[in-house]
Amino acid sequence: MAVALPKAAEPRVDRLERIWKERPGVMGWLTTVDHKRIGIMFLFTSLAFFAAGGVEALLIRSQLLQPNGTVLGPNGFNEAMTMHGVTMIFLFVVPISIGAFGNYLVPLMIGARDMAFPRLNAFSFWVFLAAGIFMYVGVFSGNAPTAGWFDYVPLAEKTYSPGSGIDFYALGLIFAGISSTATAVNLIVTIFKLRAPGMSINRMPLFCFAFLAVAFALVFALPALTCALLLLEFDRLLGFHFYDVSAGGDTILWQNLFWIFGHPEVYIIILPAFGIATSIIPTFVRRRMVAFPLVALAELLVAFIGFGVWAHHMFAVGLSQVTTIYFAAASLIIVIPSGIQLFAWITTIVTGTPRFKTPLLWIVGFIVLFIIGGLSGVMFAAIPFDQQLTDTYFVVAHFHYVIFGAAVFPILGGLYYWFPKVTGRMYHERWGQASFWVSFAGMNLTFFPMHIVGLLGMPRRQYTYPGDLGWTGYNVVESIGAYLLAAGLLMVVANLVVSLFRGERAGPDPFGGATLEWATSSPPPAYNYAVIPKVSSPYPMWDAGDRDEDVANLAGGRMVLEQGHETPASTAVDAEWDEILDMPSSSPWPLVLAVAISGIFAFVLLEQWIAAAVFVVATLVVLAAWHGKEPAEA
């Protein structure tokens, strides 16, 4: 449903419609550089991978429902467990956060017409899709990796994993890393340079602070993973010895490199959820977040401190006492910025007038689950406790509370919250609440008993267990819980799919939101805003005067920028007007470049070096064309 516009503005809006019009049909999607369309493609692709990761999880739980299960054999189990972890982390939770939510909402929240680098943005999506397909070609061709999501050597070396499963894992993650890095760079430049004039850094929504922190964490963490994976492939494909102790290599090098990436990765996963929570809470409790500057700082600090704690994953490796004590202390410090946010969310809710609509319910659920997951996390900072329980189901319980509970719950709450904005339709409220309660019950039934069976000594990654160790009852409850959780998730999908076609029409701002995306129509037009919005606080929708000024500006032809594919650039801190950017429009090059790079990865995997070199040349040619004149629209 459209926003009411002054009559005098119609010719200008018509011109904007013409300038920003997307190509029709499939070609429109294959060549789009519109952040909203790219966000939607990221959304559906990452949800497809969520489904794949969910099927793998249900296979695992079906196998462990009973002692001596026969659903999966040892190798099949290792494949399902490994791909479950890899898929959920690299192909679902990170891409849906930065690729879907970040892409779709950040430009809207800062009052911009697109991301800073629209073609790079499209490229990041096509590479993500290609990397996901690459990894699942491995799965469906019987070459799934089996060494777990953190893939420790020497198990992952050629000696113990001779097939190409690990190569699909390693090359696939290097490939996917290109996409995440491109998205991260785009988010950083967009947030610093494309904010509407007047949105100085202290007026930027907390959602954007969270995504800024994520983007920086990605840029600094991914190189460690890429380096670890490259060294592994040098060992596997070219016979080097980086991790081969017998030839002077070092297996612990892998663990250090992997967790230098891996721990910041958990904050890369959870920070978008913090951002979603700080968007939903003010809207449904009708008040601004308490301690805004502290919460913004805490979001950045979580990402920063997260780079100094990685060896708490290695307390059982035999590091020196000084080292382990440092990492134990550093891991405890991280509780402070997390705690600041937790108390800010809770205080804002209890001092506001909460309306427990579906989006807020998911956020309240998130807070409860985050507390449970956070408390077990603190326990692991105690070295003796960790040395007793590392690699048991207590660990599996901990990270599912912090990943599923504290990352996926806000994502589902966010899907409900922004569904009206993206589709122009309302979801079914009572069905939404039911889907929350079923998922909340399923989540706790699945993962809480894992704490207990872990304390009873059940190791993780076991494909079966004997019936006389007292673990059976807990596993039965866990597996039933997993099916209930799956049912809750299917209720979410059913609600949104049915509402997409039958939901009540939604206006521009059905919930009375605080941030700018609610100032434009639902769904937003290709150019986002007919007039670049005026901003005087982090809650622009609650500054009625500024919204009136927008209408006056539009009628007067000020801040409309309808001479071309234009959006304003502003200074990084104070967001003073800087220049007008002429943005690229739809282009085939992002997709073509992703295809060329896929050829390199495919032929490296097949050790066809000449063919790989040909695709390197093709990639360079496409890059040159990318920087040339765009081909005329057909």
Residue with smaller CB distance to ligand HEM, 131 or 396: 396
Q: Could you say whether residue 84 binds Cu ion (CB under 5 A)?
A: no
State in angstroms the smallest separation of the CB of 345 from Cu ion. 22
Taking residues 463 to 502 in sequence order and writing x for each that binds ligand HEM by CB under 6 A, - otherwise, the string is -------------------x--x-----------------
Token pair, residue 45, equals 């692709």
Question: Of these partners, ligand HEM, Cu ion, none, which one is at the site of residue 88 (CB under 5 to 8 Å by kind)?
Answer: ligand HEM
Q: Could you say whether residue 188 binds ligand HEM (CB under 6 A)?
A: no
Beta bridge partners of 459: 392
Nearest residue to ligand HEM on Cβ basis: 85
Residue with smaller CB distance to ligand HEM, 405 or 508: 405
State in angstroms the smallest separation of the CB of 599 from Cu ion. 36
Residue with smaller CB distance to Cu ion, 331 or 585: 331
Token pair, residue 395, equals 């660990």
Distances from the Cα of 288 to the Cα of 126, 135, 293, 351, 379, angstroms: 38, 44, 12, 10, 33
State in angstroms the smallest separation of the CB of 241 from ligand HEM. 25
DSSP assignment letter at 582: E
Q: Could you say whether residue 36 binds ligand HEM (CB under 6 A)?
A: no
Question: Of these partners, Cu ion, ligand HEM, none, which one is at the site of residue 84 (CB under 5 to 8 Å by kind)?
Answer: ligand HEM
CA angle 338, 304, 515 (to 5 degrees): 65
Query: Which residues, other chains included, contact 106 with Cβ-Cβ below 8 Å and sequence gap of 6+?
Result: 115, 187, 190, 191, 207, 208, 211
Question: Of these partners, ligand HEM, Cu ion, none, which one is at the site of residue 263 (CB under 5 to 8 Å by kind)?
Answer: Cu ion
- The span from the first CA to the last CA of the chain, in angstroms, equals 31
- Which range, of 67-75, 260-268, 533-541, 619-627, touches Cu ion by CB under 5 A? 260-268
**Nearest CA to 158 among 77, 241, 248, 255?**
241
How many alpha carbons fall within 13 Å on the CB side of residue 123?
Answer: 26
- Which range, of 52-60, 275-283, 330-338, 521-529, touches ligand HEM by CB under 6 A? 52-60
State in angstroms the smallest separation of the CB of 108 from ligand HEM. 26
Q: Could you say whether residue 263 binds Cu ion (CB under 5 A)?
A: yes
Element (H, E) at 577: strand 577-582
502 C-beta neighbours (distance < 10 Å), count? 9
Q: Could you say whether residue 446 binds ligand HEM (CB under 6 A)?
A: yes
State in angstroms the smallest separation of the CB of 150 from ligand HEM. 6
- Which range, of 216-224, 372-380, 399-407, 625-633, touches ligand HEM by CB under 6 A? 399-407
- Which range, of 136-144, 259-267, 393-401, 521-529, touches Cu ion by CB under 5 A? 259-267
**Nearest CA to 229 among 203, 248, 198, 253?**
253
Alpha-carbon dihedral 11, 13, 16, 18, rounded to 10 degrees: -60
d(CA 324, CA 340) in angstroms, rounded, equals 26
Token pair, residue 44, equals 């559906």
Q: Where on the chain is the footprint of ligand HEM (CB under 6 A)?
A: 54, 57, 60-61, 81-82, 84-85, 88-89, 92-93, 148-149, 396, 400, 403-404, 408, 446, 460-461, 482, 485
